[in-house]
Chain A
Amino acid sequence: MKSSHFKIYLTLLFCIASFTQYASGSTQHSQPSDSVSDTTTDRLTPFERRQLKYRQRWDNLIPKYTKAQFAGGMGLISVGPGWEYGKNRQWETDLLFGIIPKHSSKKARVTMTLKQNFTLWNLPLKGNFSVDPLSTGIYVNTVFGGEFWNRNPDKYPKGYYWFSTRMRIHAFVGQRLRFTIPSERRRYSTYITAFYELSTCDLYIIQAVRNSYLKPKDYLRLSFGLKFNFF
């Protein structure tokens, strides 16, 4: 069960990587290196050129940023790398690992989240600030621990419980504020983005649709985060 999960995640990551290459081909690689590579690649043998291509392709797998998110159904704190792509870097994919504290449970738990973000537009503000008035997306969260399952364990008759206790699908909308660090003062980041999100998950939606008893505070979840761009 678990290994099949990882396969899905890895496949998705490779899809993202190859997509990243096509999307960012015009912006990231060609511009600064064209003048150099035109002359240098001419001198390369076909095999060396293949090697270069191969390296460039794998380079796309290098995460572009690190994101940390507080709450939102993915742990008290979850941290992980991410990739951004698209003409205006409007698409983002995060792979986040989070910790659920023990609280009244027997143990703390680890979760993993694959998050797909889409930022609609970016508005420049004064100075080095800019704002993303609307970002949205979905994320899939999986929680580790023997008590959670995706499909009913064999002890149950087929389809006894229709849902997965391990995997949750969340949807969110949010806003972001971005601060671009002046190039002379850059140490670890090119820019830092602070954001908040309102999210809900599949099972909360089902209960909210069926019951007027549930108010927004019962099915909407708030979270905050920071994104540190390295590229």
Chain B
Amino acid sequence: MGKNLFLSIITAFIFSSCDMLECHPYDVNISGERGITHKNIGLIESATAGHTSLRFAMISDTQGWYDDTEDAVKAINKEEGLDFVLHGGDLSDYGMPKEFTMQRDILNKLNVPYLCVIGNHDCLGTGKEAYSAVFGPTNFAFTAGNVRFICLNTNALEYDYAEPIPDFGFMQRELSEIPPEVQKTVLLMHVKPFEMVFNNNVAHAFEAYVNEFPAVQFCLYGHEHKFQADDLFDDGVIYYQCPNIARRQYLIFTINDDNTHQYEIKSF
């Protein structure tokens, strides 16, 4: 009995110390689950197939606020009838892989699948590589019911023009391959057009691409740590900003089958 207890203590110590043996805070040595985006897109698409209305929550900018993120997860889990949760980027403060895995472990406690876009802080150090390993590609799209969600990397300042940000090639491919069931579109990004981190040389070109998508309902973003709802281009497309998690707020969006939508700001 005593021997068993001793052995289990030793094993527990060895297992926890494996995590404690770290080459470097920026070593992209990911423990635990990877490929969250791919897995959760599958879950969302199969669960919402055939739906003509949707209800989802949005959180954003959870970097370094693990306690608040945990509380948000608990609050969101009490919401009724949610299909999924969107995260507006900035899971990490410094781009350290450990930040991504801790955030992943907290968000994995959500009752519904979640998806995260990449934020500017997530690009620092080896953050881009850690984001890709834990979540997946930085541009992705999925279909929930009859709505296509286009999720984009808009952190142009972090890429020095070495990669196209926003990636019009990706948007073009998405436009040419719109699934037949899709009637509406929602766009999700971390940084809105005209913010300094965005490539503002192409802000209006971006608007043109956005308006090519079928019935754009609205655009979602984060980054500036406060709620905002603006018609950025005076073209009728509202850009909603989700507050950062330290404000202890999240948003709930409902997309109805009659081409209308509502949002709520929830505090926890």
Partner-B contacts on A (CB < 8 A): 70-76, 98, 100-101, 103-106, 109, 111, 141, 143, 147-148, 155-157, 161, 163, 165, 168, 201, 203-204, 206-207, 210-214, 217-218, 220-223
Chain B residues with Cβ below 8 Å from A147 are 125-126
Known: A103-B29, A210-B64, A217-B19. 8 other contacts (CB 8 A): A71-B22, A105-B126, A165-B26, A165-B94, A203-B93, A213-B66, A218-B98, A222-B20
Decide if A73 touches B23 in the complex (CB within 8 Å).
Answer: yes
Chain B residues with Cβ below 8 Å from A98 are 23-24
Decide if A203 touches B22 in the complex (CB within 8 Å).
Answer: no
Chain B residues with Cβ below 8 Å from A101 are 23, 27, 29
Query: Count of B residues near A, CB < 8 Å?
Result: 37
Chain A residues with Cβ below 8 Å from B237 are none
In the complex, A105 Cα to B95 Cα: how many Å?
A: 13
Give 9 closest A-B pairs by Cβ, nearest first.
A213-B66, A104-B133, A105-B28, A211-B66, A222-B20, A103-B29, A71-B21, A104-B28, A165-B125
The prevalent SS among residues of B at the interface is: loop
Task: Point out the residue from B21, B23, B98 that lies within 8 Å of A222, measured CB to CB.
Answer: B21
Decide if B157 touches A141 in the complex (CB within 8 Å).
Answer: no
Decide if A104 touches B129 in the complex (CB within 8 Å).
Answer: yes
Query: Which of B67, B93, B99, B126 has the largest count of A CB atoms less than 10 A from its CB?
Result: B126
In the complex, what's the smallest C-beta–C-beta distance from B5 to chain A, in angstroms?
Answer: 20
Interface membership of B70, Cβ < 8 A = yes
Decide if A221 touches B129 in the complex (CB within 8 Å).
Answer: no
Decide if A100 touches B133 in the complex (CB within 8 Å).
Answer: no
Decide if A214 touches B66 in the complex (CB within 8 Å).
Answer: yes
Chain A residues with Cβ below 8 Å from B70 are 213
In the complex, A143 Cα to B16 Cα: how many Å?
A: 26
In the complex, A201 Cα to B127 Cα: how many Å?
A: 18
Interface membership of B124, Cβ < 8 A = yes
Chain A residues with Cβ below 8 Å from B102 are 213-214, 218
Decide if B25 touches A104 in the complex (CB within 8 Å).
Answer: no
Decide if A141 touches B21 in the complex (CB within 8 Å).
Answer: no
Decide if A100 touches B160 in the complex (CB within 8 Å).
Answer: no
Interface membership of B232, Cβ < 8 A = no
Interface membership of B57, Cβ < 8 A = no
Decide if A165 touches B95 in the complex (CB within 8 Å).
Answer: yes
Decide if A213 touches B67 in the complex (CB within 8 Å).
Answer: yes
Partner-A contacts on B (CB < 8 A): 16-17, 19-30, 64-67, 70, 93-96, 98-99, 102, 106, 124-126, 129-130, 132-133, 157, 160, 196
Across the interface, name the chain B residue whose C-beta is closest to A213. Answer: B66
Decide if A211 touches B20 in the complex (CB within 8 Å).
Answer: no
Task: Point out the residue from B20, B124, B129, B133 that lies within 8 Å of A161, measured CB to CB.
Answer: B124
Can you list 19 pairs linking A and B with CB atoms under 8 Å apart?
A71-B22, A73-B22, A74-B24, A104-B29, A104-B132, A109-B24, A148-B26, A155-B160, A157-B196, A161-B124, A203-B25, A203-B94, A206-B64, A207-B93, A211-B64, A212-B67, A217-B19, A218-B98, A221-B22
In the complex, what's the smallest C-beta–C-beta distance from A34 to chain B, in angstroms?
Answer: 47
Task: Point out the residue from B96, B130, B157 that lies within 8 Å of A203, measured CB to CB.
Answer: B96
Decide if B28 touches A75 in the complex (CB within 8 Å).
Answer: no
Q: Contacts A163-B94, A165-B95: A103 and B28 contacting too (C-beta < 8 A)? A: yes
Task: Point out the residue from A103, A207, A217 that lies within 8 Å of B66, measured CB to CB.
Answer: A207
Decide if A143 touches B26 in the complex (CB within 8 Å).
Answer: yes
Chain B residues with Cβ below 8 Å from A210 are 64-65, 67
In the complex, A129 Cα to B147 Cα: how many Å?
A: 71
Chain B residues with Cβ below 8 Å from A204 are 25, 98
In the complex, what's the smallest C-beta–C-beta distance from A140 to chain B, in angstroms?
Answer: 13
In the complex, A21 Cα to B22 Cα: how many Å?
A: 36
Chain B residues with Cβ below 8 Å from A212 are 67
Query: Which of B22, B70, B94, B129 has the largest count of A CB atoms less than 10 A from its CB?
Result: B22
Across the interface, name the chain A residue whose C-beta is closest to B158. Answer: A155
Decide if B24 touches A111 in the complex (CB within 8 Å).
Answer: yes
Query: Which of B17, B27, B95, B132 has the largest count of A CB atoms less than 10 A from its CB?
Result: B27
Decide if B98 touches A75 in the complex (CB within 8 Å).
Answer: no
Chain A residues with Cβ below 8 Å from B133 are 104
Across the interface, name the chain A residue whose C-beta is closest to B196. Answer: A157
Decide if B26 touches A100 in the complex (CB within 8 Å).
Answer: yes
Decide if A221 touches B27 in the complex (CB within 8 Å).
Answer: no
In the complex, A148 Cα to B157 Cα: how many Å?
A: 15
Chain A residues with Cβ below 8 Å from B29 are 101, 103-104
Chain B residues with Cβ below 8 Å from A148 are 26, 125
Chain B residues with Cβ below 8 Å from A73 are 22-25
